[in-house]
Amino acid sequence: MKKMGIVGILSLLIFLQGCVGGLEQNTMRSANKNIIEHNKPYEYILVKETSETRFYSDVKLRGEIGRSITKNSKILEDDVMGAIFENCGYTFFDLLEIRIVPSVFPVFQEVWVFKDDKSEMEDKTTALGIVMEVLPNNSGTNFFLRGECPAAPRTIIFQKPF
């Protein structure tokens, strides 16, 4: 009988550990899904793990280094950089790289990375998500900036089960 009680308690602990682990995975999957849907520049990744906790931070840049669609239109490039300067104070001289995020025409998504001494990122950069939507009949392009300047990583902490 005593053996049965121990097996029951162990089964309950294993069950609860699975529930907590599933909650962690679902939370991180949901957080990164939100980032993708809103073209934010950074994804959450596991950055530290101790015997008791796991730390996830939004520090991984999205996309792959590539050529910006704005290179096809000097006017669009100047408009985007003008908005970035107005909102963050960055110039072309601060631009370190452009990353292309998979998207479907007529929408283009990019991440622009700037050097930024005020950034709280380890590499002293700030990245901004740029969403550009080509309007019908070649009547222009709307664009939106996503992200904060200077960048400051956010961290989600999970306590490990027992």
Q: What is the mean pLDDT of residues 107-133?
A: 97
Whether pLDDT at 88 is above 90: yes
- Beta carbons of 45 and 55 less than 8 angstroms apart: no
pTM of the model: 0.82
Cβ neighbourhood burial of 56 (10 Å; 0-12, 13-18, 19+)? buried
How many Å apart are CA 68 and CA 63, to the nearest integer?
12
pLDDT-based confidence at residue 22 (cuts at 50, 70, 90): confident
- With pLDDT > 90 as the criterion, what percentage of the chain qualifies? 76
Q: What are the pLDDT digits (tens) for 56-65?
A: 999 999 999 9
For residue 160, the model assigns a pLDDT of 84
pLDDT-based confidence at residue 10 (cuts at 50, 70, 90): very low
pLDDT-based confidence at residue 9 (cuts at 50, 70, 90): very low
